Every structure is written in C-alpha cells, then in structure tokens.
Structure 1
C-alpha cells in the first residue's frame, strides 16, 4: 500500500478535504499548493485542528515540470487534483486552461514515470461527457468538449491514459460528477444559492435552472479517491464517481430553500448563462464500475442523501466566519 502521498491541488476545495482524510487515515501526506507571495495554503490554512501540522507543504506551480518532479521525489503515489475548473473563466482565458490542465497533467505523469511512482490518480470531470446522449452515463459515453474547460480536461485525460498505454505508468482516471460541500467556490451553483440565502437575499440571481446534474457530496468524492489509491483494480481504467441520482438546478434550488427554511424567487441573470451550444443540459452518472472495481458506493446517494449533504453544506456556509469569506452580492466568474 502506498504510504507517502503527494496531493496536487491540496489547497483547493476537494483537495483540502482529501488531505484531511488521508492524514486521519495514517498516510504521510505532502500537500502541493500553488505558490503565492502571501504564503497562503488556501483552504489548508483553515483545516481541522486534529490535522493541522500533520502534513508537509510544498509550494509550487503545476505548470512547472521541475517543481512537480521535485515535489514528487520520494513519494509512492500522487493524487492529481490541481486544475483550473471554472467554466465561465475558460471562455475568458482559455490558454491558461491548456497550460494548467493539459501541460500540468503531462508534468505529473512524466515525473511519475521517471521516478517510478507506484500509483497516479488523475482527476477528470463529468463535463467531458457534455450533454448526455444516453443515461445513466457510463465511461464509454462519447466525449464532447462543449467548453474550453471540458476540452482541456479531455486533453488531460488522454495524456494520462496515453502514459498508461505507452509506458505502463500506473494511472487511474477518476471522473467525479458535480461535487459539492463545505469550502466550495461560489462560482458553483450550490454555494451560489446558499450564500445568497444566508446573506438575506430572497430573490436569487441564477443562470439556467432547467439543466440536470448528478451531485456528489464531497465526503463521497474523497472516498472515491481513497478507494482508487488503495485498489489495484482501477489501474488503466476511467471510473465515474457519481451518486446515480439526477436532479434539475431548479429542483435543487427548492431543496436548498426547504433545508434553509426560506421562501425564495429566482431571477435569471444573463451573465450567468452559458452560450446555448456550450450548456451541458443533462448529467446522470452510472457508477457501476466504481462499485465493481473499487468497492465504492455513495453514502449520500438518492434524494435523502442529497438533502443530508445539502443540510451539512448549508450549516457550514451559514457560520458567520465562513460566510464572511464569500462575496454573495457579486457574480463569481
């Protein structure tokens, strides 16, 4: 079993939760965070007390192959989460997505190959499928780059898989569907809804509410990474991590309003709408492969699990100290 683990993107939403979970599980964790002059470790600056000081930090940039290789030296496995993920920003600055997501992934698998790393878990996204052509979506669904972001992740996935096929680099590609939970950026729809309600707004500014999504609570996504790390069965595979539960954005808004005991109205904000052909209309995961290969099933599955996850998420966001970190009155690109 790999023991020394490098987590790229450890300073982010999912990465910080994964760092905490692996430390608690007894792993020796090195957290790769984005270098900045403020010496900020992102969400790891606010990690749980029982985890604080129990992991190593490496500040660098996933776009730099030398830094990536230095960070990975001495590690048994790498969980690669570092990426640019905001879809609207990918319309604004697509070149940065190629550098970060595609070339960053190349840097990771190249270093892993050179150093003989025993496991690479590469993070994909359900956005690579685009609008579902059939549901539930299996890993054999066609890939559709409906945004520069999704196109860059398709490229990253193919780079990762090519190293498995070309050099037998032990790569697992994990494909989480729409992860939500505490610490998520307000550029995502669930935090956008919760922070507006928590700030006292009752007329919510949102984009399209008709598309459907398969939301996955962050604790379930984290367990998917741990299962992929600890199992040999997933090497060379692409594996969906989703709840196998489909719900529209509109119904999600109502579920959050019920959890937060709020009467709300929805106002369409034009700047939050994707271009028509870029909107992913439907996502719904088939998670059979994750169950069969990794032994993973969602603890927050179905409508009841979704409501439990929303309640935990809303509780975190409505803590005044947490809410103060968000600008609920502004559109987060």
Structure 2
C-alpha cells in the first residue's frame, strides 16, 4: 500500500479528489492544508510515495493586485513540493494552468507557444520550470496537468459560474462583466478522473492539457443554466473587458487520450446539471446533448 499526500485538500478540487480517492483507491491518503510556501511546514509532513499538489492561488484579477503572494504560493510552493519529493523519493502530480495567452489557432495542444499574460499564469509557468529542473537534474518523476477553466460544486463565488448561480438563487437579474470571451470549461469530476488515471501510470515526466474540447461564452452558460433551472431572469453585461483578455480557448486533449486513455465524460450541459442539482436548483431532467 502506498501513501498519497494531497495539498490543497480543503479546496473544491481537493475535497472532490479526496472523496473519489476514498471510494476508488485502497491507498492511504494524507490530507494537507499547510501553507505550501512555508518550507518548515513541509518538513513536518509524513513520508509519502506520491504528492498530488493542488494548493494554489488562482483568481486572475487578484494576481494583478498581489503578484508577490501568487509567486510565493504557486512558484515557491511548487519548489517545496519538488524538494519534498526529492527527499522522499516520491513522484509528483502537479496542477498548473492555462499558459498559452492569446492563441494563434484552436484547439491548443501542449506544444503550442507558451505566453503567460497575467501574474497568475506567470507564477504557474515558473512552477512548471521548477518541475522541469527537478525532473532533469534530480530525476523526480513529475506529471503536470494544465487545466483550462475548471468549474464545479464548492467553487468560490468570485469565479464566473458560481457567481451566476448565486445570482440565479437571489432572483431579480443577472449581471456579468463581459458576455463575449469564450472558455473551455472542464467539470471538476473530469479533472479528478484524470488524476486518478495518473496514479496508475508510471510516467517519468509529461504535461497534459485538460479541457472539454469546446468553448462557451458567458451568454451560453447563462442560457443553459436558466434552461436547466427553469428561470428566465434578465441579463445585463457591463461590457468591461479584463486586462489582457483572451477571446477564446479550446483544449486539444489528444495526448491524454492516447497516453492515458482519458477523455472528458461531462458535456457542459451534463456538468451544469450535476452542479445545479447539488445546489438544489434542478428544475427538470434534461437529455444530455
């Protein structure tokens, strides 16, 4: 029996991962909520065979205001995870981020040009560079997962989909900043499913995109949610374009399909149905399409 350390265990991805690990995995799981930027906190952790490193700061707008904290948590935190794995001779599965900036073409494969255009993405790019160094020179086995836009039950209200759900619950009207940017949304259960797959794959070093393979605008998302929830609230856009906004993203997951036999099982409708059912906002059954 191996021992798996999960950082960021109290986050919405971490909570779902722990649920699935306990259901489908016989290995011992160590749940960690340490400050990953604190080297001494890592030294107090027990020896483990595998680290799933989820702990991170993730809200892009906040990264412009507080880039130092993002680098301390995301870059230095990953450095400490790599160093822990070096000392314990453990393997590392680490969540990165969308790093491609404004893409020249869609869909986007892992070998597309990297161009982080906000402090959050830059901190994750730095974390990836650290992982590459530790793999090349210390031979730490590392797999990097690049999620596009994750959503799911338990995500904080500052993100788009939970903020819309909060407004749906309140009634009245739905307000968004910008209705136009399209994103590849991946349901949290699909992200967790990939991580479970990786536990059974002895990969020395690799990087995998994770997305749904299609993109949707805020208008699309709101329309689907209102259809599922049985509401018809007015929608208003402030037409505020974020700094360095990316117009569209679509992930190419052919590498994950080939090497891991993984592909998403949740369409955007199926994911939103599951999410809204957990929020007790499921009006009527919908056919998956």
Fold match (TM-score > 0.5):
yes
1:316 aligned onto 2:264: no
- RMSD, aligned CA: 1.5
Contact 1:69 1:108 in 2 (8 A): no
Q: How much does 1:61 deviate? A: 1.1
1:121 aligned onto 2:93: yes
Counterpart residue number, 1:46: none
1:290 and 1:87 map into 2 onto residues whose CA distance is 26
Counterpart residue number, 1:248: 217
1:63 aligned onto 2:37: yes
Contact 1:85 1:149 in 2 (8 A): yes
Counterpart residue number, 1:96: 69
Counterpart residue number, 1:274: 242
Q: Unmatched 5+ residue regions in structure 2?
A: 282-289
Q: Unmatched 5+ residue regions in structure 1?
A: 34-59, 320-333
Counterpart residue number, 1:29: 29
2:155 and 2:17 map into 1 onto residues whose CA distance is 13
Contact 2:110 2:207 in 1 (8 A): yes
Counterpart residue number, 2:286: none
Q: How much does 1:255 deviate? A: 1.1
Q: How much does 1:62 deviate? A: 0.3
Query: Which one of 185, 191, 205 corresponds to residue 236 of structure 1?
Result: 205
Counterpart residue number, 2:125: 154
Query: Which one of 172, 176, 199 corresponds to residue 147 of structure 2?
Result: 176
Query: Which one of 159, 162, 166 corresponds to residue 137 of structure 2?
Result: 166
Query: Which one of 268, 284, 295 corresponds to residue 261 of structure 2?
Result: 295
1:107 and 1:183 map into 2 onto residues whose CA distance is 27
1:69 and 1:169 map into 2 onto residues whose CA distance is 18
Deviations 1:224-280 (A, max 9, x none): 111112211x4311101111122222211111111111113322347x7412xx212
Q: Matched residue of 1:129: which SS?
A: coil
TM-score (structure 2 length as normaliser): 0.93
Counterpart residue number, 1:84: 57
Query: Which one of 182, 188, 206 corresponds to residue 218 of structure 1?
Result: 188
Contact 2:49 2:88 in 1 (8 A): no
TM-score (structure 1 length as normaliser): 0.81
2:224 and 2:2 map into 1 onto residues whose CA distance is 40
Counterpart residue number, 1:134: 105
Count of residue correspondences: 280
Contact 2:110 2:209 in 1 (8 A): yes
Q: Matched residue of 1:208: which SS?
A: coil
Contact 2:37 2:77 in 1 (8 A): yes
